[in-house]
Amino acid sequence: MKKKIRILSLDGGGIRGIITCVILKYIEEELQKIDHPNAKIGDYFDLVAGSSTGGLITALVLFPDSTKKAKYSIQEALELYAKKGDEIFNVSFWEHFINPFGLFNEKISQKNLEKQLAEVFGDLELKQLTKPCLITAYDISSRKAKFFCSHEAIQPLENFYLKDVCRATSAAPTYFEPAKIKSLYNQEYTFVDGGVYANNPAMCAFAEARKIAFSKELQDISKPDYPDINDMLIVSIGTGQVLKPYKFKEFENAGKLKWVSPLIDILLTANAETVDYYLEKMFESLGPRNRKNYYRIMPDLKNASPEMDDTSKKNIYELIQAGLFYIDQNRELLDTIAKKLVKNK
């Protein structure tokens, strides 16, 4: 009997990706209890997709060790994320003074980001990741979506240094400069954050999975090739619900400048909600048994800031608390996910 293709999809959201790591940490700990004491989340999914901060987490969970298994536990990824995040998003007083609120230039220097990515990933190549992945970016020169897929990176034209892939997927407009990078075939691209079109990349992951011969890719005959929706288990994780209300009076005569921040917020949220709606309806059409193979996890931010670059100790604490609150309220759901991941191992 064929096993399901296990897909993990991770939303964008800057430092709010800490919430994602907290929830994945709980699932990983359940896997360690019920399957193997050294279980790592990256070994329990057959395809991992991520946008922006989700792309960074994707790269971490699929980072290979010497045996081509997942190197990092989620605990290690969380520690890296909290430590590096502060250095990446740190904005000096002088930068604040000459560029208040990011109005005249990108809000954050890309130098810190590039330095941290180089330290973590070195010269690791996209094709070396342990499992198929899909990491999103948008090519502003040719005006088209870009999917960095490790299973297609055998060709030098599609292969990149992983540090450059992460730089591309995290190049959030107004936060960082666009990423100018080259493939290992030496072709140059200019990318911005994939969240501009797929902040929730779950639908992109579904479409990509349909193209993959998993039995060959994973060297596992129990996995179906070119799976349809009946063959999939999808776990999609958001970085905290942001439903800030915007009142008519505030925007009655608003110009372009006033609309910039709210418009980004609305577009990112609406994108994620639309993808969730489509997948929910698609799985509902399968009937009561198979509809339960799609899970959308979207925690409440509680007291955490919705800002993607707030790395204050207080906010990191609140982000962790938001993740823990979700776990406390949804333990049975997360335990079920862990059991299904093991069942389809």
The residue from 52, 73, 150, 170 that is catalytic is 52
The letter for the amino acid at 220 is D
Strand spans (E) along the chain: 5-10, 47-51, 133-139, 144-148, 179-182, 188-193, 232-237, 294-297
The residue from 11, 43, 46, 193 that is catalytic is 193
Cβ-based neighbour number of residue 217 at 10 Å = 16
Task: Note whether 201 and 51 are within 8 A (CB).
Answer: yes
- Distance CA(317)–CA(319), nearest Å, equals 6
**Beta-strand pair 188-193/179-182:** antiparallel
Active site residue 9: no
The letter for the amino acid at 10 is L
**Beta-strand pair 144-148/133-139:** antiparallel
The letter for the amino acid at 303 is N
- Distance CA(329)–CA(277), nearest Å, equals 23
Active site residue 52: yes
Cα→Cα distances 261→122, 173, 206, Å: 34, 11, 30
Catalytic residue IDs: 52, 193
